[in-house]
Amino acid sequence: MQGSGHPPRLTLVTPVWNKAGYIGRMIASVRAQTFTDWELIIIDDGSSDGSLLEVERAAGGDGRIRWYSQANAGVCAARNNGYSYATPGTEFVQFPDSDDMLEPTMLAELIAALDANPRAVLAYCKYQAVGPDDEDLPTNHPMRKVRVGPFVRRQPDSEPFTKLESILAWAPVSEAISLMRRSAFDRSPRWDIRLGQHGEGVVLFADFALRGDIIYVNRPLYKYRQYIGQNTSNLEVIARQETRVVLRLLRWQGSQSHMTSMKRAIVFAEGMVRGIRGIEKGRELLCNGKVVSGTKLIISGLSLWALAVCVPSILLMKVRLKCQDHLRGIGDDWCADS
């Protein structure tokens, strides 16, 4: 415990940018945790709405909470900068968002899951979507998927481990709900500043999955804020970022075994999963009388699936070219060194 000469077990790092209306609720939810051996570091990313004043008010003199300021540089840079202020020797790190809230037992349950599984490097949970006034919203979690021969299997919630291939297929392992071993985070590429927000967790957690187990805690222990204007609600931004993520993964560097695992996971996500999704969507269109568009989707989906199963090297080449063409088509030079 802090005050006993030992570092806290957990460091939480939260960037804040113009969230004066919400940051106080997030801090209150951390202070209400049943697990109390933590420190919270707030990084103000150039706010202009008095967010820091709200941080000071909500901290209420709690010595476990510290805050710092930086010029606006984005959430990934703020997370990395905030982490640099972490007390040496903490065991775990988490990066909750400034407009969200933690259920009172979240930290206790995720740390207990890691304590019970020495090979595990990360534990994450379900979340409950909430609106601007904390009202519960309908919440849809992406399905976890794994490969079984030439087929895709959906993992039931009762299965506790999430695999690399599922992470690359955009399983619900997101940045704010993931509590990590600090030793694994220190060996990781950290938050990719150049990649930017949305999908940055896919890249980071892929690295984690190559190093140890990823534990899924089947309980909604986090409240994720949703409202109009979020980056995660902008479909054009999402499409661009997902393309960047795939290119970043295609450039993965590491041991031969890790690179083989990464390529296999990309083939699964970008070939098998996307192919089957296209087939399912095409069948839906056919059932609604849209014969031409439905048939095209089915043929395209079957083609992706067949390439993934039979000639994965060609699929990887096609995926790379498609991603590069997409970014160039929207004037994004991010792929210049891809």
Band of pLDDT at residue 249, cut at 50, 70 and 90: very high
How many residues does this entry show for the chain? Answer: 338
Name the average pLDDT for the chain.
94
Over the stretch 46-102, which tens digit does the pLDDT of each residue have? Answer: 999 999 999 999 999 999 999 999 999 999 999 999 999 999 999 999 999 999 999
Q: For 10-233, which CATH class?
A: alpha beta
Predicted local distance difference test score (pLDDT) of residue 338:
45
Over the stretch 176-226, which tens digit does the pLDDT of each residue have? Answer: 999 999 999 999 999 999 998 899 999 999 999 999 999 999 999 999 999
Dist. CA 54–CA 272, nearest whole Å: 48
SS (H, E, C) 79-129: HHHHHCCCCCCCCEEECCCCCCEECCCHHHHHHHHHHCCCCEEEEEEEEEE
CATH 3.90.550.10 range(s) for the chain read: 10-233
Predicted local distance difference test score (pLDDT) of residue 4:
57
Q: Is the pLDDT of residue 336 over 60?
A: no
- In sequence order, the β-bridge partners of residue 181 are 92
Q: Is the pLDDT of residue 3 over 60?
A: no
Dist. CA 272–CA 278, nearest whole Å: 10
> Which residues are CB-contacts of 325 (< 8 A; sequence separation ≥ 6)?
none
Whether the model pTM is above 0.85: yes
Predicted local distance difference test score (pLDDT) of residue 230:
60
Closest by Cα among 330, 303, 335 to 320: 335
Band of pLDDT at residue 233, cut at 50, 70 and 90: low
Band of pLDDT at residue 308, cut at 50, 70 and 90: very high
Q: Is the pLDDT of residue 29 over 90?
A: yes
Residue 197 sits at φ, ψ, to 5 deg, of -90, 150
Strands in 113-212 per DSSP E: 120-130, 145-148, 151-154, 178-181
Q: What integer is the mean pLDDT of 261-279?
A: 97
Predicted local distance difference test score (pLDDT) of residue 235:
84
* Phi-psi region at 163: left, alpha or beta (left = phi > 0; alpha = psi -120 to 50): beta
Band of pLDDT at residue 232, cut at 50, 70 and 90: low
**Lowest-pLDDT range, 2-6, 77-81, 138-142?**
2-6
